[in-house]
Amino acid sequence: MWTQEDDDDGEAPRRVPYVDGAWGRTANPNTADGELQNLAAFGDGLARLSGSRRTAAKVVVWLILIGVGLTVVYGVLGIIKVW
């Protein structure tokens, strides 16, 4: 009698590229779907980092977020001054 056996031969699973499940393929990076896939891939990579590399990546991400936040505040203040 044949039974299905687990693949326990010690081989590491083969890494496959991230494919969007909705489309079954990678999205065009110039579209919103592609940007979301890029953000997901960035987050996956950031989650795998450890030690000083993770700290450096977190500092860079926070600097980008602070820069975006300051830009929004500056823009809102500029709009308020016009009125």
Q: Which domain holds residue 40?
A: 32-82
Query: Is residue 6 in a domain?
Result: no
Can you say whether the dihedral through the CA atoms of 34, 17, 55, 57 is positive or negative?
negative
pTM metric for this prediction:
0.54
Tokens of 37: 């896939």
Q: Evaluate whether residue 23 is within a structural domain.
A: no
Indicate the length of the chain as a whole number.
83
Ramachandran region, residue 43 (left: φ > 0; alpha: ψ -120 to 50; beta: rest) = alpha
How many domains does one find in the chain? Answer: 1
Does residue 26 lie within any of the structural domains?
no
Residue 38 belongs to some domain of the structure: yes
In a domain, 68, yes or no: yes
What are the helix (H) ranges across the chain? 32-48, 51-82
Tens digit of pLDDT for each residue in 10-68?
A: 666 666 666 555 556 677 778 888 888 888 888 888 888 899 999 999 999 999 999 99
